Amino acid sequence: MNRIVVTGGKRLVGEVRIGGSKNAALPLLFAGILTGDSCVFENLPRVSDVLQTLEILRFLGARIRFQRSGDVEVDYRDVRPEVPPGTLTSAIRGSVYLLGAMLGRFGIASLPGAGGCDFGSRPIDLHLWGLERLGAVEEQDAEALTLRAESGLSGCALPLPLPSVGATGNLLMAATAARGETVLSGIAIEPHVQALAEFLRAAGADISPFEGGAVRVRGGAPLHGCRVRVIPDMIEAGTYLCAAMATGGRITLREAVPEHLGALLWVLERMGARLQLRRDGISLDAPERYRCMRIETGPYPAFPTDLHPQMAALFCIGGRAVGEGRVRERVWQSRFRYTEELRRMGAVVRIAEDEARFLPSTLHGTEVRSPDLRGGAALLLAALAAEGRTEISNAATVGRGYEHLEAKLRGLGARVRVYG
Ligand code: UD1
């Protein structure tokens, strides 16, 4: 997926099925290493980050079988404690989960580098602090970061100073393999983190329910293979809801969980959207015009940082948006790169420190470059609402997280083509 070409101005109308969550699938696929057995993943999204993860696992010795049903079986029995090539691990952020998973299974984990979207600094100090407390020793050479726990990991108290999704996932995995009890507190409680705990429980781990931002793990018991269904992708769902808003459309999402999207649904309703919520579906009827809002991103259940650019795009659309919209980004230092590209389409944006302000203006199609996954989604939404033709380059960034993008958008009536 190199280029997305959109001719704007069509209302999106119809029904779309939301796929499995990328942010849930990646930690699950890595956590499977801990089972040393065979696991079956249902509803695994076919996005490039997932395919990249399967490549890493294959390099390490896993056998992968795409079943006719669409499920994917990963046999982890022959996984070896090797250093995967940096070219593979640095293509995705999710490769950080190799640390907890490999350390837990083999007492050694090596990571040449992790990639992901560029939002400024993306530290892993909390991951390392926790893994060291569990007994790992860190070593960094020119090739890779290596963690060793030659005599195994031991449970302990791990109070996190901030609710990092990645650190919570890595430490849950390592704690599952550590002897004795670990109490992780201050944890992230995103649905995809809870899904990881659910998977580990299904594989035999003794993990308490999440309560008061804490979880207790009684580790050390051997795990076994299991079958898991990846939860629906809340960010994909949120993006389609925003696409319907951008075009004055009417959309029904199948397999989307309203409970995961409370902050977004609250905002959309206040903007004038008419919503119908079912246990596993959402319908949205967009108003002709909507009021802009102030939003602030934060750890779940606050407004997700991964839906910030899409909401910002809505605030820019002249003829639909009314008033000034503001986005304060509280998770990442630098997540406003997409605004440069929106400006090329005619958007009026002012940025001061961690807040961007948007005024509605007429957007026109032009050539833009996707800076990252969700920034690219924001450009796509703007393009769906803009006058004329927009060409989005560097679209592989968008392919990292949106499954069957062209087919889904065309099914809703969009004039869009994906090339490459
Ligand atoms: C974060 C998002 C996640 C999103 C992903 C990609 C949150 C809480 N997490 O997950 O929803 O899908 O980005 O956009 O919204 N931090 C440290 N030290 C660490 C780890 C993190 O200081 O060791 C800080 C980060 O700089 C950041 C915050 O913690 O400010 C959240 O990071 P974290 O949740 O770990 O990031 P991801 O797991 O990538």
Amino acid 303: pLDDT: 98
Which whole number is the average pLDDT over 111-119?
A: 79
Ligand 1 site residues, Cβ closer than 6 angstroms = 23, 93, 122-127, 162-167, 188, 190, 299, 304-306, 331-332
Which whole number is the average pLDDT over 236-251?
A: 98
In this structure, which residue's CA is closest to atom 3 in ligand 1? Answer: 165
Instruction: Please give the model's pTM, rounded to 2 decimal places.
Output: 0.97
Amino acid 264: pLDDT: 98
Please report, for residues 244, 316, 335, 381, 389, the alpha-carbon distance to residue 386 in angstroms, rounded to integers and kept in the order given: 14, 10, 23, 9, 8
**Do the beta carbons of residue 140 and residue 134 sit within 8 Å?**
no
Task: Tell me the pairing of strands 157-159 and 180-185.
Answer: parallel
Amino acid 297: pLDDT: 97
What is the tens place of the pLDDT at every residue in 116-149? 777 777 889 999 999 999 999 999 888 889 999 9
Compute the distance between CA of residue 238 and CA of residue 295 in angstroms, rounded to an integer.
15
Q: Which atom of ligand 1 is nearest to the CA of 373?
A: 14
156 is catalytic: no
- Catalytically annotated residue among 39, 117, 242, 316: 117
- Percent of the chain whose pLDDT exceeds 70: 100
Residue 280: is its pLDDT beyond 90?
Answer: no
In this structure, which residue's CA is closest to atom 14 in ligand 1? Answer: 306
Residue 280 burial by Cβ neighbours in a 10 Å radius (0-12, 13-18, 19+): middle
CA of residue 400 to ligand 1 center, whole Å: 18
CA of residue 46 to ligand 1 center, whole Å: 23
Q: Which of 165, 233, 264 to mutate to test the pocket of ligand 1 (most atoms within 8 A of CB)?
A: 165
Q: Which residue has the higher pLDDT, 142 or 359?
A: 359
What is the tens place of the pLDDT at every residue in 172-187? 999 999 999 999 999 9
Query: Which tokens hold the place of 322?
Result: 């009314």
Which whole number is the average pLDDT over 15-24?
A: 98
